Amino acid sequence: MNLKTLSPEVRHIWSVAKVVQGVMGFTMGIYIFSWGPLFYEKLTEISTPQTGMTLTTFLFGVHMALIAFLEVPTGAIGDTIGRKWTVVWSFVCRMAFFLVLSFVSFANSLPIVLALGIIAMIAFGFSYTFFSGTFTAWCVDSLREKAPHIGYEHLLSRAYTYNFVAQIFGGVLGVLFYLKHVPYIGFLIAAVLCVGCVVFCLGEMEEVKNLKFLKHKEVSLAVITRRIGEILGTGFQIFRNSSVILALTLVFASYMFVVNIVDYLWPVYLRSKVPTDLQPSYWIGLVVAILLVSMAGSHTLTLWTRHWHKKNGAKTHNTVLRRWLIGTSLFAALPVLALSWLTKMGLDTFWYFTGAVLAVEFAYGLIAPCYETLINNYIPENHSQERATIMSFGSLMRSALIMFLASPAGGTSGARTTIGWALPALLLLVTALVGNFVIKSAQRKVSDTAAEGVKPCGDPMLE
């Protein structure tokens, strides 16, 4: 699909998605590979390695608990006051997160480090949940309004590719600043970029005209609370009654549990296992490799959907997307299980560790756009108003899993953290197999009903 042949309105949607995902990717790269080691080393200096790991995973748990608590309500806020303003507030909170994080390097007492960590996690929790689901909902509904014949997977996979490209630059800079003992410089750069993205979104994002959002003069706490309650009720009912949406959400939440544990703890493992003089080259090399394989995953989906559109002249079939989703989930789970077993046996696992991490990260480039496309295909058209809320349940489940299971999944120390990774990997393996069975059964049931000439009911858009 050539974007140059599309209408200016569709190209504008793509431009907004490209810029926003680019800023998200760059700022994510700045912190994601360094914040865990930053807190772990700071807390270890003040206390002990075991206490440092415990408190680092505690902050990780606080981070996920906040996301679990805020995810669905903030999704409902996006469906109430508008996706544009919710995305803007997301970047405002993201700016606050980086500003607070920049002070951690200068803290020298346990209470101050913990206080800064908790404040940073609160700011990030609001930032993440305001953006999660809401921006994808804006992309999907804008595309449905301007060009309903174009599949969401094409736009979303290309946007993720830009996200990963930007993460490469942000990740390298973030690690370099960290290894030079000036991580706060990277955090301040990220804060400035967030301010720029706020200005960009205010000027370029337009609300979808066929959806109804509260106007500013109508906004009050009572009105917002009532509207959020209505949207939450409707969104939860759709989520509860659709076996396909439930299965997709469980698979996605389980995978995100794996990738979050890996993302936040592999630098801690590397810091513990690799000699100090070799850490810069190993660390930067693995950061670049991770982001390149993630980009390769999303680009693979882009090429496939482009081929599908060219061959069939239609959106990518849901069955094909399901196979990509389930197959890639298994591809991510099995290497991590093998790595955990090898570590448990006391073997030298560095290269197995590298391969398992790269497998998990390659999967992300495929799973994220596949999931977001599939779940939006299954959301009934007459419930587009609740789209952001329904999509928030996946992130809520992921956060709940991490909140309750982060400590056992993190292991007892940096050098043995990979043993605990077996827990999220096993959960992903089970949910992928069960989810595949549930979705296939639902699709087969609808196909048989349609063949008998009976109007299908239940899960929408299963064909």
pLDDT at residue 168 greater than cutoff 90: no
Q: Over pLDDT 90: what percentage of the chain?
A: 24
- 432: tokens are 């992928």
Other Cβ atoms within 10 Å of 313 Cβ, number: 8
User: Which residues are CB-neighbours of 303 under 8 A, at least 6 positions away?
Assistant: none
Q: Which long-range contacts (CB under 8 A, 24 or more apart) does 318-323 make?
A: 318/374, 318/377, 318/378, 318/443, 318/461, 318/462, 318/463, 319/443, 321/153, 321/370, 321/373, 321/374, 321/377, 322/374, 322/436, 322/439, 322/440, 322/443
Q: Which tens digits make up the pLDDT trace of 237-285? A: 877 778 888 899 899 999 998 988 888 777 777 777 666 666 677 778 8
The pTM for the full model equals 0.74
Q: Which tens digits make up the pLDDT trace of 64-120? A: 788 878 887 888 888 888 889 999 999 999 999 999 999 988 888 888 988 999 999
Angle 174-176-177 from CA coordinates, rounded to 5°: 65
* Enclosing H/E stretch for 107: none
Can you tell me which residue has the tokens 């099995």? 334
Can you tell me which residue has the tokens 């693979």? 300
Q: Tell me which range, 39-43, 112-116, 188-192, 376-380, is most confidently predicted by mean pLDDT.
A: 188-192
Q: How far is CA 205 from CA 16, 48, 126, 142, 201, in A?
A: 7, 48, 20, 10, 5
pLDDT at residue 457 greater than cutoff 60: no
Q: Which residues of 177-216 are buried (b: 16+ CB within 10 A; e: fewer)?
A: bbbeeebbbbbbbbbebbeebbebbeeebebbeebebeee
- 141: tokens are 């509904």
Rounded CA gap, 18 and 16, in Å? 5
- Across all residues in the chain, what is the average pLDDT? 81
* pLDDT value of residue 363: 92
Helix 49-81, helix 221-241: angle, nearest 10: 100
Q: Tell me which range, 93-102, 235-244, 297-306, 318-327, is most confidently predicted by mean pLDDT.
A: 93-102
The DSSP secondary-structure symbol of 346 reads T
The answer to whether 457 and 437 are in contact (CB under 8 A) is no
The answer to whether 422 and 341 are in contact (CB under 8 A) is yes
- 396: tokens are 């809520």
Q: Which tens digits make up the pLDDT trace of 217-241? A: 666 777 777 777 777 787 778 777 7
Rounded CA gap, 365 and 250, in Å? 18
Other Cβ atoms within 10 Å of 48 Cβ, number: 11
Rounded CA gap, 6 and 264, in Å? 40
Q: Which residues of 405-428 are buried (b: 16+ CB within 10 A; e: fewer)?
A: bbbebbbeebebbbbbbbbbbbbb
More confident of the two residues 317 and 66: 66
User: Which residues are CB-neighbours of 26 under 8 A, at least 6 positions away?
Assistant: 166, 167, 169, 170, 190, 193
User: Which residues are CB-neighbours of 55 under 8 A, at least 6 positions away?
Assistant: 39, 43, 47, 114
Confidence of residue 314 (pLDDT cuts 50, 70, 90): low
Rounded CA gap, 426 and 409, in Å? 11
Rounded CA gap, 98 and 189, in Å? 9
Q: Tell me which range, 9-13, 155-159, 188-192, is most confidently predicted by mean pLDDT.
A: 188-192
Report how far Cα 25 is from the mean position of its chain's Cα atoms. 11
Confidence of residue 216 (pLDDT cuts 50, 70, 90): low
